[in-house]
């Protein structure tokens, strides 16, 4: 912990991101830093044990640690929390708001990367990359490949949510799909809500019934957690591909597995799981109609630096 007169910024936990760029920015602005190892489990409760001096922190950079009211109790001088992600579901935002602690996220840092990854997953599913790879691995060739891709220019892409990432996916996918429809009540209600060219806003019922591919682009909130359940899936066409690059807890994974087994869903592709990292082998792995990647949609050489550095810059700017 470097001596300073401006205050202490703590890292709640160290993720796969290199904290050095953030530390360098903070030290250059006159702040000291300290790396902690706060619990990341969703069920964690209780006040953490801190090293001496940590309780004086005025700012916190959060990776996966759960920032509960008890954790905030341990930092009475805390003014700002910056997350290393677009989502803020690891922070009890309502408690932070009541205590006048600002919560800053990383909106826009990796919109292009996440949208590109979603499109890659969708194309891999539709073109049958997983069954194709498995066919070759088993010694088979064209005759043994039973998957039948559809022509993309005859399909409708549905976007559940039209924020930065949903809009970027629409831009990337527009030349490929026949039609792009989106449901987003916040965009629809905005007086000057901007809808990307080529996208039609529809209601939820129309989105679910019209989509050949449905891509999820909503945050994890009490209203959205578990929304993709069996009742939701029953409203989709049986040939729908569902893509999730948002948050794993939007989806009831058992419902996805049962819908796939019953032929009510064409494929499921995702970069997120309800529990991360998974405890053992995820129940959705191994099936030819499922493609999972290990929460890497945000990654690129550019975004990795921005993810590591931007939370520190946001804190510096806020504390000015």
Kindly list the catalytic residues.
247, 276, 295
Q: Residues of 263-301 as b/e, b for ≥16 C-beta within 10 angstroms?
A: ebbbbbbbbbbbeeeeeeebebeebbbbbbbebebbbbe
- The dihedrals phi and psi of 216, each to the nearest 5 degrees, come to -90, 130
Cα–Cα distance for residue pair 23/8, rounded to 1 Å? 11
List the beta bridge partners of residue 34. 10
Give the H or E element holding residue 213. Answer: strand 213-216
List the beta bridge partners of residue 158. 181, 214
Give the distance, in angstroms, between the CA of residue 37 and the centroid of all CA atoms in the same chain. Answer: 22
| CB-based contact 7:32 (threshold 8 Å) | yes
Pull the structure tokens for residue 95: 């408690």
């Amino acid at each position: 912990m470097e001596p300073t007169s401006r205050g202490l910024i703590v890292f709640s936990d160290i993720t796969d991101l290199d904290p050095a760029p953030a530390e360098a920015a903070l030290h250059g602005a006159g702040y000291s830093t300290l790396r902690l190892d706060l619990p990341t489990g969703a069920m964690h409760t209780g006040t953490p044990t801190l090293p001496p001096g940590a309780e004086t922190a005025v700012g916190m950079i959060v990776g996966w640690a759960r920032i509960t009211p008890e954790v905030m109790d341990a930092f009475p001088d805390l003014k700002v929390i910056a997350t290393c992600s677009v989502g803020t579901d690891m922070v009890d935002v309502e408690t932070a708001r009541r205590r006048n602690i600002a919560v800053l996220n990383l909106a826009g840092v990796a919109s292009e990367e996440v949208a590109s990854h979603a499109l890659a997953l969708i194309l891999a599913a539709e073109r049958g990359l997983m069954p194709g790879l498995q066919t070759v691995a088993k010694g088979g060739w064209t005759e043994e490949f039973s998957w039948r891709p559809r022509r993309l220019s005859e399909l409708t892409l549905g976007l559940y949510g039209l924020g930065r990432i949903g809009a970027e996916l629409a831009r990337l996918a527009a030349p490929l799909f026949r039609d792009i429809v989106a449901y987003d009540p916040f965009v629809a209600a905005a007086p000057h809500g901007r809808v990307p060219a080529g996208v039609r806003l529809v209601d939820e019922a129309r989105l679910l019934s019209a989509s050949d591919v449905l891509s999820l682009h909503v945050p994890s909130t009490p209203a959205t957690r578990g929304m993709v359940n069996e009742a939701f899936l029953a409203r989709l066409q049986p040939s729908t591909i569902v893509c999730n690059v948002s948050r794993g807890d939007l989806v009831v994974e058992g419902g996805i597995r049962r819908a796939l087994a019953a032929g009510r869903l064409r494929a499921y592709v995702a970069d997120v799981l309800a529990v991360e990292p998974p405890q053992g082998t995820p129940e959705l792995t191994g099936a030819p109609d499922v493609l999972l990647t290990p929460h890497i949609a945000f990654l690129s050489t550019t975004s990795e630096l921005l993810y590591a550095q931007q939370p520190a810059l946001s804190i510096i700017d806020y504390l000015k």
